[in-house]
Amino acid sequence: MENDGKVEETIPLLQNSSLPLAIKETDDDYQNLIPRVWIESKKLWHIVGPAIFSRVAIYSMNVITQAFAGHLGDLELASISIANTVIVGFNFGLLLGMASALETLCGQAFGAKKYSMLGVYMQRSWIVLFLCSVLLLPMYIFATPVLKFLGQPDDVAEQSGIVAMWMIPLHFSFAFQFPLQRFLQSQLKTGIIAWVSLISFIVHVFVTWLFVYKLQYGIIGTAITLNFSWWVLVFGMFAYTVCGGCPLSWTGFSSQAFSGLGEFLKLSAASGVMLCQSINGWEMMIPLAFFAGTGVRVANELGAGNGKAAKFATTVSVVSSLIIGLFFGVFIVVLHDKFALIFTSSTEVINAVDKLSILLALTILLNSVQPVLSGVAVGSGWQAVVAYINVGCYYVIGVPVGILFGMVFHFGVMGIWSGMIGGTAVQTLILAIMTIRCNWENEAEKASSHMEKLARGK
């Protein structure tokens, strides 16, 4: 394949694997459905398995930090929790969503065998996310007055503001870590992400113990440990990339990274709005892994010009995630009056959880489908449209209905939660209709055309 006068090298789309990434379909393929589902499932779990592990490991670093802070005192626990949730959590979701634009671009470039463009796209993402990180700095600098305005007690707001200031290095690590993760993920190099996450997790446990218990740096020590551990993630993946781990997709820093930034920013911004509502804790780690895996699979197949294979990958992903969601949903329903014992022995809390168990089961079921369909949108490059859908379903349906049921009709937490479930259900239905009605062959043609345009920096 010619590209700017140079011949692109070709490599198997699934390195170190016997599984072909792109399968040209014929009518005979549909007579062997079970083998095809098995092959597609193995390709999907090649991405999803390590993705689940790395996400759980990274999320657990926050849990460990909060656990250590809790042993320092109630004020420290409240401060680190609020700083993480309100300040860091919002920026985490926004920048993570913006980085998901790489799942479209890198995934399709890898499928089209334009390997050298992957490094260029990642550098463009670094530039865009770094500039956005700078623009978001006031949230950290003015965290204390913002939290007071939101109704937090003065002592909690002031302590959280101090913690937020110490987490600024963590904030900037997002701008580099998220693009690196998607860059490697799009090339099916998910194993290295899992190993780096494991190393970072082990380092985090040690430095947290050292800074908080041995050196007794208190609440500031907990913030420092998160900074340190997240930058271990960045340097670990960067070292692998530049030290020979990606010989075709990383050819060094390029001035091409500064071209086409407008189009890249547009796609990244839409991705950020689309995903910002989707970071809900441990419960979402498996669906978010499917979100990533589905995005990569669909983008790879569309980039390779295989519309039917992208459709089949979508079907297998949705069904696989739905089966897992059904399992956990049934688990909640069957053990509705017992599963809370895992977390507490309080009779009041157990009874409250029991009353909410059906809503929790419905939430898990919807969350097993909606992120996968969002992954299809990312892989297909539909971020802008889906961003409007997500915002509309959340703010036009979910929030108003939740307020109506919870505060006007006095159903309390159940009413608010029911409204949010309604918004998610409408969102899932719209995404499902878009996916079902999609002309996958046209999407494959559009992906090829779009890749050519971006490769020229237009």
Question: In this model, does residue 275 exceed pLDDT 50?
Answer: no
Q: Is 221 exposed, middle or buried (0-12, 13-18, 19+ CB in 10 A)?
A: buried
Residue 18 lies in a domain: no
Q: Round to whole Å and give the CA distance between 302 and 310.
A: 6
Q: Round to whole Å and give the CA distance between 286 and 36.
A: 23
Determine the pLDDT at residue 392. Answer: 86
Q: Minimal CA–CA distance to 51: which of 207, 227, 184?
A: 184
Residue 429 lies in a domain: yes
The predicted-structure confidence for 34-54, as pLDDT tens digits, reads as follows 888 888 888 888 888 888 888
Question: In this model, does residue 81 exceed pLDDT 90?
Answer: no
The predicted-structure confidence for 185-195, as pLDDT tens digits, reads as follows 888 888 899 99
Residue 24 lies in a domain: no
Determine the pLDDT at residue 445. Answer: 83
HEC states along the chain?
A: CEECCEECCCCCCCCCCCCCCCCCCCHHHHHCHHHHHHHHHHHHHHHHHHHHHHHHHHHHHHHHHHHHHHHHCHHHHHHHHHHHHHHHHHHHHHHHHHHCHHHHHHHHHHHCCCCHHHHHHHHHHHHHHHHHHHHCCHHHHCHHHHHHHCCCCHHHHHHHHHHHHHCHHHHHHHHHHHHHHHHHHHCCCHHHHHHHHHHHHHHHHHHHHHHHHHCCCHHHHHHHHHHHHHHHHHHHHHHHHHHHHCCCCCCCCCHHHHCCHHHHHHHHHHHHHHHCCCCCCHHHHHHHHHHHHHHHHHHHHHHCCCHHHHHHHHHHHHHHHHHHHHHHHHHHHHCCCCHHHHCCCCHHHHHHHHHHHHHHHHHHHHHCCHHHHHHHHHHHCCHHHHHHHHHHHHHHHHHHHHHHHHHHCCCHHHHHHHHHHHHHHHHHHHHHHHHHHCCHHHHHHHHHHHHHHHHCCC
Residues facing 7 on adjacent strands: 2
Average confidence (pLDDT) over 414-431 = 86
Amino acid at 348: E
Residue 9 lies in a domain: no
Residue 40 lies in a domain: yes
Provide the 8-state DSSP code for 84: I
Q: Round to whole Å and give the CA distance between 451 and 455.
A: 6
Residue 4 lies in a domain: no
Determine the pLDDT at residue 114. Answer: 85
Tokens at residue 72, please? 């320092």
Determine the pLDDT at residue 123. Answer: 92
More confident residue, 318 or 151: 318
Average confidence (pLDDT) over 281-288 = 62
Residue 358 lies in a domain: yes
Return mean pLDDT, the chain. 78
Determine the pLDDT at residue 20. Answer: 43
For the ranges 65-69, 122-126, 301-305, 336-340, the one whose mean pLDDT is highest: 122-126
Question: In this model, does residue 255 exceed pLDDT 70?
Answer: yes
Question: In this model, does residue 378 exceed pLDDT 60?
Answer: yes
The predicted-structure confidence for 1-18, as pLDDT tens digits, reads as follows 334 444 344 444 444 444
Question: In this model, does residue 337 exceed pLDDT 80?
Answer: no
Determine the pLDDT at residue 199. Answer: 93
Q: Round to whole Å and give the CA distance between 176 and 234.
A: 7
Q: Round to whole Å and give the CA distance between 427 and 303.
A: 27
More confident residue, 8 or 425: 425
Q: Which domain holds residue 358?
A: 30-455
Tokens at residue 251, please? 């050819």
Distances (CA, A) of 294 to 51, 267, 287: 11, 18, 10
Residue 364 exposure: Cα atoms within 13 Å on the Cβ side: 20
Q: Round to whole Å and give the CA distance between 447 and 352.
A: 49
Amino acid at 309: A
How many structural domains compose the chain?
1
The predicted-structure confidence for 432-444, as pLDDT tens digits, reads as follows 999 998 888 888 8
More confident residue, 163 or 275: 163
Angle at 354 between CA 352 and CA 359, to 5 degrees: 95
Q: Round to whole Å and give the CA distance between 376 and 297.
A: 9
Quickly count: other Cβ atoms within 10 Å of residue 6's Cβ: 9
Q: Is pTM, for the whole model, over 0.75? A: no
Residue 7 lies in a domain: no
Question: In this model, does residue 419 exceed pLDDT 60?
Answer: yes
Determine the pLDDT at residue 236. Answer: 95
Percent of residues, the chain, with pLDDT higher than 90: 11
Q: Are 84 and 267 in contact (CB under 8 A)?
A: no
Amino acid at 88: V
Determine the pLDDT at residue 239. Answer: 95
Amino acid at 299: A
Question: In this model, does residue 412 exceed pLDDT 80?
Answer: no
Average confidence (pLDDT) over 443-450 = 79
Average confidence (pLDDT) over 452-458 = 60
Q: Are 185 and 297 in contact (CB under 8 A)?
A: no
